[in-house]
Amino acid sequence: MRGRNPYLGALAERRPARPYTITVQPLGVTVTVDPQKLSDGDHGLPGSVLGQLLDAGVEIDHACGGVLACSTCHVYIAAGSASCGEASEEEEDMLDGAPALRSTSRLACQCVPDGTSDVVVEIPAWNRNAVKEGH
């Protein structure tokens, strides 16, 4: 499966019109997103935070492959949340199973910034895996 759960209805897609950055805390890594070279949805929705970070070599846990079937890619949007739009009902339902929810919680596979501002995401401490198995 790629980026979409076939059991869910179509979600409205928003695509960025201009370049923006995603900064990952506490890693201090900043990725510049070029709207002409967006991730095609191999890991989450096309243009998702998860896809953009994975394409840039930043690892984020994503057990389901980005199809909205788990909450392992749970992140906090520390800045730029208005450019990300609102979470779908399905995303909110999946977030209900994630630990340490905040009002800024999102699933990186479903969060697609529109490019109107830069975005800062925080990977929760409990989700930082220092030792990765090959996947």
pLDDT band at residue 13, thresholds of 50, 70 and 90?
A: low
Greater confidence, 58 or 129? 58
Instruction: Report d(CA 46, CA 26) in Å as an integer.
Output: 25
- Tokens 């999946």 locate to 94
Instruction: Report d(CA 37, CA 59) in Å as an integer.
Output: 19
Domain for residue 73, yes or no?
yes
Domain for residue 40, yes or no?
yes
Element containing residue 93 per DSSP (H, E):
helix 89-95
Q: Is the pLDDT of residue 133 over 60?
A: no
Domain for residue 134, yes or no?
no
Domain for residue 7, yes or no?
no
- For the stretch 37-73, pLDDT in tens is 876 667 888 889 999 999 999 988 899 988 899 999 9
- Bond into 16 cis (ω within 30): no
Q: Which residues of 82-96 are buried (b: 16+ CB within 10 A; e: fewer)?
A: ebbbebbebbeebbe
Measured from the Cβ of residue 100, the count of other Cβ atoms closer than 10 Å reads: 11
Q: Which domain holds residue 110?
A: 20-127
